[in-house]
Structure 1
Amino acid sequence: MTQPDDVWNWDSGEAPDCEVEGGVRAPISTSGLRGRLTHDAPLAKLVWFKSGGHADWLFEPADLDDLILFLERLDGALPIMPLGLGSNLIVRDGGVPGVVIKLGKPFAGIEVDGMTLTCGAGAHGILVASAARDAGVAGMEFMRGIPGTVGGFVRMNGGAYGREVADVLIDCDVVMQDGNLMRLTKRELAYSYRHSALHDNSVVVSARFEGEPGDPEAIGAEMDRIAEARENSQPLRTKTGGSTFKNPPGEKAWALVDKAGCRGMTIGGAQVSEKHTNFLINTGDATSADIETLGEEVKRRVYENSGVELEWEIRRVGRP
């Protein structure tokens, strides 16, 4: 099967600096690489908001060695951005410069050894929680309530329902911008609320979590409770990006948004959810500019109403 001109599949052993459609050249030598590199790749289909521009380059590595080789050759020449499920992300309409790295099935494995789970960065939270349940490992139930993958959880100290990654993480493996593979402990990540010290131009490839002995039935019941709570309170069946703003100390972001009269407010095709006011939704044809502008207007109104400066939890990336 012939590949499109703007996609390289390195199984064929293409020569270095092969031209891509439009006269664009691959940013590095492609010899020996086995993944997939796409120029001017649309990202809207890869993020939950279903909006936004293209990536200058999208790289899907075949495995860890392939990722390391790619980054060694790139050697910091372009910025990189790892992409998981795109569930907590606004990709701006001007697209993302540099290289977006999408980790697929080769990075989605989950292994259980006693009370320790070793998980690839591409593993979905619900699958991590399910694997822990089946093995009688308690403490991972909260991951059932976070839409995303392990890489994003580790980077943002993801959490829900009273627990967060910092409570269970042992360490993680990270490929740095120059291709160097490092193992970082929880302490080195310097976790705070929805934040870590990880460098933006690094890629989490795996993580180890530690739980405690538990009864699979009780663990499953807690997961079901979390799933039901999410279904009842969040607009899960819409094009959304999850929780928009971090909860300020001693406050709930949704309550501040509601108090400021923002429930149901719209700008273009973007709307503050009627069901949960800390969620923004794409009603059908919203641009990323609509969504971000709406979020900024919500912030302004909340500050005007309550004096609280909300902080974005959703990441906003790319060119305006």
Structure 2
Amino acid sequence: MSRHTSWRVGGNADVYLVPADREDLLAALSVLEKEAIPWMVLGGGSNLLVRDGGIRGAVIDTAALNRLEFLSGGEVRAEAGVVLGQLIEEAARRGLAGLELLYGIPGTVGGALAMNAGVPGREFGERVESALIVEGGTMSRWDRQRLRFGYRRSALTSGMIAVEARLLFSPGESEALQTVLRERLAYRRRTQKVEGANAGSVFRNPPGAKAWELIEEAGLKGASVGGAQVSRFHANFIVNQGKAQAEDILALIQRIQKEVESSSGIRLEPEVKIVGENTALNG
């Protein structure tokens, strides 16, 4: 899985599937259910830590579900595999506003939907009107109320796959929106400059505080375990210095949690999803 995650770590999956379209996805899920094979879904792999023992069962990669349709009245339908940056760029080019502040966040529409990706002042779910969700082998449309968006979360859980998001944008001026995109990208490069492969923000911001400030105040900027290091530029990032194992990253996450709680009384919760087996079973 190291080839499919932005941290560049993780053991093998038993089965790796890339459905060509929605029908292929449903057919694959039917076979997996019949054979009692567990599975998990993968978007861009940018918010995921796969342990060194890999994943028992199947990984379903939604990359080929990449249809993007711009309809009338600001309505956009984006399949789960569409890269979030691509959606935002194309919307801005067409003079559609609403998600430009999220520009630069890695990942796909499916991942942004499942975790309600966002920045201070804007969340992906604010623009979602409904989504096509597969659960129990059946695909149905969920409205925004059923999706229950919250801070870095939604109602989607394991056993569910987001297939498509229906979004509603506001009218805007194309040139001004594209200027915002350039500014956002420059800002993220300036403030989130890091030294190696990473998964973006590792911890959620606790109420009334910022995770990076708590980590910095605990004296952990630059701290390392094996080949994993807390970024010297942004303390809520952990970077793979080139030869890190997943167990190094996990140990560093646990060290950060322990020392931040000791210094501030606040227990940081991971924003990244941690999956797989601890022991390298597959060599």
* TM-score relative to the length of structure 1: 0.84
Within 5 A, what are the aligned runs for 1:124-163? 124-163=83-122
Deviation for aligned residue 1:145: 2.5
Residue 39 of structure 2, aligned match among 75, 80, 84: 80
- Equivalents in 2 of 1:190, 1:218: separation in Å? 32
Deviation for aligned residue 1:161: 4.3
Q: Secondary structure at the match of 2:221?
A: coil
What does residue 308 of structure 1 align with? Answer: 266
Residue 271 of structure 2 aligns with an amino acid whose one-letter code is E
Deviation for aligned residue 1:235: 3.0
- Equivalents in 1 of 2:147, 2:132: separation in Å? 11
Contact 1:84 1:102 in 2 (8 A): yes
**How many residue pairs get matched?**
276
Deviation for aligned residue 1:237: 6.0
1:225-247 deviations in whole A, cap 9, x for unaligned?
Answer: 11011100113562001000000
Could you say if the C-alpha distance between residues 236 and 139 of structure 1 is closer, same or farther in structure 2, counting changes exceeding 3 Å?
Answer: farther
What does residue 50 of structure 1 align with? Answer: 8
Contact 1:269 1:283 in 2 (8 A): yes
Contact 1:70 1:179 in 2 (8 A): no
Q: Secondary structure at the match of 2:158?
A: coil
Residue 255 of structure 1, aligned match among 179, 193, 213: 213
Q: Does 1:286 align with 2:244?
A: yes
Residue 207 of structure 1, aligned match among 162, 165, 190: 165
Within 5 A, what are the aligned runs for 1:140-289? 140-176=99-135, 178-235=136-193, 238-289=196-247
1:203-225 deviations in whole A, cap 9, x for unaligned?
Answer: 11111111111011111111111
1:151-196 deviations in whole A, cap 9, x for unaligned?
Answer: 00000011124211121111111122x3211111111111111111
Give 5+ residue unaligned stretches, structure 2.
279-283
Q: Per chain length, whose mean CA-contact separation is higher, i.e. which structure has more relative contact order (CA < 8 Å, sep 6+)?
A: 2
Residue 222 of structure 1 aligns with an amino acid whose one-letter code is V
Q: Percent identity?
A: 38
Q: Does 1:92 align with 2:51?
A: yes
Q: Secondary structure at the match of 1:86?
A: coil
Deviation for aligned residue 1:79: 2.1
Residue 285 of structure 1 aligns with an amino acid whose one-letter code is K
- Equivalents in 1 of 2:195, 2:221: separation in Å? 18
Residue 57 of structure 2 aligns with an amino acid whose one-letter code is G
Give 5+ residue unaligned stretches, structure 1.
1-42
Deviation for aligned residue 1:199: 2.4
Which shifted more, 96-105 or 275-284?
96-105
Q: Does 1:121 align with 2:80?
A: yes
Q: Secondary structure at the match of 2:200?
A: strand
* TM-score relative to the length of structure 2: 0.94
- Equivalents in 2 of 1:238, 1:195: separation in Å? 27
- Could you list the runs of 4 or more consecutive aligned residues of structure 1 that deviate by over 3 angstroms after TM superposition? none
Q: Secondary structure at the match of 1:243?
A: coil
Q: Secondary structure at the match of 1:240?
A: coil
Residue 62 of structure 1, aligned match among 5, 12, 20: 20
Residue 82 of structure 2 aligns with an amino acid whose one-letter code is A
- Equivalents in 2 of 1:138, 1:62: separation in Å? 30
Q: Secondary structure at the match of 2:163?
A: strand
- Equivalents in 1 of 2:21, 2:216: separation in Å? 45
- Equivalents in 2 of 1:207, 1:172: separation in Å? 4
Residue 247 of structure 1 aligns with an amino acid whose one-letter code is N
What does residue 20 of structure 1 align with? Answer: none
Deviation for aligned residue 1:73: 2.8
Contact 1:118 1:209 in 2 (8 A): yes
RMSD over aligned Cα, in angstroms?
Answer: 1.2
- Equivalents in 2 of 1:90, 1:235: separation in Å? 20
Could you say if the C-alpha distance between residues 252 and 140 of structure 1 is closer, same or farther in structure 2, counting changes exceeding 3 Å?
Answer: same
- Equivalents in 2 of 1:127, 1:153: separation in Å? 13
Residue 225 of structure 2 aligns with an amino acid whose one-letter code is I
Contact 1:129 1:142 in 2 (8 A): no
